[in-house]
Structure 1
Amino acid sequence: MVTKDYPFYLKSTVILFGIILLVYVFAQLADILVPLAFAGFIAVLLNPLCTRLQNAKVPRLLSIILAMLIAIIIVLAVFYFLSTQMIQFGESLPMLKKKFAEISVELQNWVQNTFGVAIEKQTKMIQDLINSSQSMVGKTVGTVLGVLSVIFLLPVYVFLILFYKPLILNFLYESFSEENSKQVGEILKQTKAAIQSYIVGLLIEMLLVAILNATALIILGVKYGLLIGVIGAILNLIPYLGGIIAIALPVLMATVTKDGYSTQLGVIAAYIIIQFIDNNILVPRIVSSKVQINALMSIVVVLLGNALWGVSGMFLSIPFIAVIKIIFDHIDGLKPWGKLLGDTVPMQHKGIKWNRAKPKPAE
């Protein structure tokens, strides 16, 4: 059978249209796909524990339930710790409000004296901003309800994925020809290892950053340093934006609770050092080494994930692109794309070397 070779512009148009259609479907089905993606990653993370329990002669159903119970207990312990710290924070809230009001009056007077903007006009601008933000309350409530629904659906999804794991694996193997079964198994093995290593590395990084943040804030005497340090470590998981908010929180707390600016400068200096340690030591050795994606593609993929699925997309983008790279590396026609995503930089490019003709000597 003779296959027709279509021109390049037609192939590229079809491929581009397919990518646009796929992205559109992903965006429209975000409410369904995002919880499933998180559940898939959590299921992969809990799978080794389930396997160990099954090897210890625990029935498969019971091993899944025990693994999920252990994970839920750990999450509840973290939330309990944060809630106890938040209760202590709430007790000082009236004092913090009073101090913040005093600082606001001083700031308004400074703006009036420096820029000539009357206090009444500043108050009106703030009020207009508050009124315009009230229209977002409905969206915020909807988002909160969406998050709550995900929290309740997530354990169900995780349980079902773990329970039907043999069925899913059989489907993946049977979807390809028998001669490719070894290659499919290798892709699944590497995918599982990459996701598990990445998530574990991310949790270790978050723990170390929380310890560094809390230690620095407690030494500097920032009130609720332990709580703010842990929150900062959690926010640090959000690329770019999270780090800015993590620094802003202790600086704001120091401004409200302390006189002068020495503590604020100390907080900024400490967080710059911690960010340097995190970006140059912790992330390359603990997180980035698990998923071999270069920095350029990581930034682009995180921004694309944010545009597609918001904050959830930023979290899911790196492990998602790591899985895609593993698939590319095992398909001959897509290996160049896998190399483009990877962090291995060749010593020189494979470009065509043009040899300039040497002028003939004069006779």
Structure 2
Amino acid sequence: MTMRTILKGWVERYLSDEEALTLLLVLVAGFAAIIWLGRMLAPFLTALVIAFLLQGAVSALTRRHVPQLMAVIIVFMAFISVLLTMAFILMPLIWNQMVSLVQETPRMFASGQSWLDELQARYPNLITPDQMQSWIGVASREISQLGQRAITLSLASLGNIMALIIYLVLVPILVFFMLKDREVLVGFTLSLLPQKRKLLTRIWEEMDAQIANYIRGKFIEIIIVGSVAFFTFAFFGLPYSALLAVLVGFSVLVPYIGAAVATLPVAAVAGFHFGISDQFAYVLVAYGIIQALDGNVLVPVLFSEAVNLHPVSIIVAVLFFGGIWGFWGIFFAIPLATLLKALVFAWPRGLQERDAERAAVTDSAPV
């Protein structure tokens, strides 16, 4: 059997149906729009994610007999309150701590160099002077590149201040109308699709609850982990508690990898502030407990119905989609992997049901 025959049989099997072709076109058009128009559509995509996140609260209020418009207004005002709190309280605090950390970086580097000198003096056979100089040279280059990146980022931020203003104005407006006119927008989208869309409906039903559960659960996880980390670091008197807590909170977006990456700055700041002491060990133990509770208690509770993927699949999805779409690729890596899994299982099952229905019709037809 030649490759051409195999491909022909696969096409006839999976793409000979109108619904299968419609599904393929929708997937190709969606991915193409995100790849080529993602930067231009970023405010719309951001608003779509936020509206999807808030729709659960709107539905909960309407189930309690709150009028639809009133529920939308209540949820939207709560969203605006959170947005203003972040813009005027949390962000200035994080920015000030980031500036202080950059200013203190040379002192941290000098302290690290002294620690390496002491380590080399204690263990001259384990660490040679050449190795120590090599480490110091690598660290110096990294710090120099970090400073250059910070300057570049500051200049770029000044140039993108108008884009930030557009986000702050346009995204809330889009979110409000997506919540208020949800049924109209969904109806319009469905009107663009063929009337025969049983396969699309099946895949969407399998994905809808999982995506909603994942986005809302991930948002709750970021808030809980970040808040617990902040109070824990503040309890131990660790400097830059807000900045480190935000980093730890957002590290949950990247399963497995994020926790390992967030450990480095936490350990570095704790080591510089407390030295190699009992307090340093307490901070790392507390941080380890936070990560353990997140992975073994919080994640199973929040995502018990959302994600059923092997860890290898999750890591590959994060690397692949993150490499293509950056932050949004990382954020949606697990939903996209779940979508591919749903396609793998729902597409053949839908075609099998179609064949069974056709066979039943043929058998029941008069001879």
When the two structures are superposed, what TM-score results if normalisation uses the length of structure 2?
0.67
In the alignment, which residue of structure 2 is the partner of 1:126? 140
> 5 Å matches for 1:70-149?
70-83=78-91, 85-86=93-94, 89=97, 96=104, 99-100=107-108, 102-106=110-114, 109=117, 114-117=127-130, 126=140, 130=144, 134=148, 141-142=155-156, 145=160, 148=164
Distance 1:124 1:249 in 2: 17
Contact 1:96 1:256 in 2 (8 A): no
In the TM superposition, residue 31 of structure 1 has moved relative to its aligned partner by 0.7
Unaligned runs of 5+ in 2: 16-23, 122-126, 353-367
Give per-residue Cα distances to partners, 1:18-59, cap 9 Å, x unaligned: 99998666433231354433322221222244454695346x
Instruction: Please tell me the residue identity of whatever aligns with 1:154.
Output: V
In the alignment, which residue of structure 1 is the partner of 2:357? none
Contact 1:238 1:311 in 2 (8 A): no
Distance 2:187 2:274 in 1: 62
Distance 1:267 1:82 in 2: 23
Instruction: Please tell me the residue identity of whatever aligns with 1:9.
Output: L
> 5 Å matches for 1:122-271?
126=140, 130=144, 134=148, 141-142=155-156, 145=160, 148=164, 150-175=167-192, 178=195, 180=197, 191-225=207-241, 228-271=244-287
Identity value in percent: 20
In the alignment, which residue of structure 2 is the partner of 1:293? 309
Unaligned runs of 5+ in 1: 1-5, 337-363
Contact 2:35 2:325 in 1 (8 A): yes
Distance 1:311 1:26 in 2: 13
Give per-residue Cα distances to partners, 1:75-117, cap 9 Å, x unaligned: 3324555347548848976994674254045157469874434
Contact 2:236 2:283 in 1 (8 A): yes
Aligned residue among 34, 40, 54 for 1:46: 54
Aligned residue among 255, 267, 274 for 2:290: 274
Judging changes above 3 Å, is the alpha-carbon distance between structure 1 residues 13 and 140 closer, same or farther for their aligned structure 2 residues?
farther
Higher mean C-alpha deviation, range 282-291 or range 317-326:
317-326
Distance 1:158 1:8 in 2: 47
In the TM superposition, residue 205 of structure 1 has moved relative to its aligned partner by 2.2
Contact 1:50 1:67 in 2 (8 A): yes
Distance 1:219 1:100 in 2: 22
In the alignment, which residue of structure 2 is the partner of 1:56? 66
In the alignment, which residue of structure 2 is the partner of 1:353? none
Distance 2:334 2:249 in 1: 18
Contact 1:254 1:264 in 2 (8 A): yes
SS in structure 1 at match of 2:187: helix
Give per-residue Cα distances to partners, 1:266-316, cap 9 Å, x unaligned: 333332332222222221221253234343332222221111111221102
SS in structure 2 at match of 1:7: helix
Equivalenced residue count is 327
Distance 2:312 2:351 in 1: 18
Contact 1:109 1:119 in 2 (8 A): no
In the TM superposition, residue 120 of structure 1 has moved relative to its aligned partner by 11
Alpha carbon RMSD of aligned pairs, Å?
4.7
In the TM superposition, residue 211 of structure 1 has moved relative to its aligned partner by 4.5
Give per-residue Cα distances to partners, 1:223-257, cap 9 Å, x unaligned: 35465335422333333443234222332222222
Give per-residue Cα distances to partners, 1:96-141, cap 9 Å, x unaligned: 4674254045157469874434979956983697369748965775
In the TM superposition, residue 68 of structure 1 has moved relative to its aligned partner by 2.5
Contact 1:235 1:246 in 2 (8 A): yes
Judging changes above 3 Å, is the alpha-carbon distance between structure 1 residues 234 and 21 closer, same or farther for their aligned structure 2 residues?
closer
In the TM superposition, residue 71 of structure 1 has moved relative to its aligned partner by 0.8
Distance 1:169 1:213 in 2: 39
Instruction: Please tell me the residue identity of whatever aligns with 1:116.
Output: P
Contact 1:43 1:162 in 2 (8 A): yes
Higher mean C-alpha deviation, range 300-309 or range 130-139:
130-139
Distance 1:139 1:78 in 2: 21
Distance 1:78 1:249 in 2: 23
Instruction: Please tell me the residue identity of whatever aligns with 1:29.
Output: L
Judging changes above 3 Å, is the alpha-carbon distance between structure 1 residues 152 and 102 closer, same or farther for their aligned structure 2 residues?
same
Contact 1:190 1:326 in 2 (8 A): yes
SS in structure 2 at match of 1:293: coil
In the TM superposition, residue 153 of structure 1 has moved relative to its aligned partner by 3.9
When the two structures are superposed, what TM-score results if normalisation uses the length of structure 1?
0.67
Contact 1:100 1:256 in 2 (8 A): yes
In the TM superposition, residue 214 of structure 1 has moved relative to its aligned partner by 3.6
SS in structure 2 at match of 1:239: coil
Distance 2:310 2:351 in 1: 15
SS in structure 2 at match of 1:32: coil
Distance 1:76 1:308 in 2: 31
In the alignment, which residue of structure 2 is the partner of 1:340? none
1:32 pairs with 2:40:
yes
SS in structure 2 at match of 1:31: coil
Higher mean C-alpha deviation, range 215-224 or range 273-282:
215-224
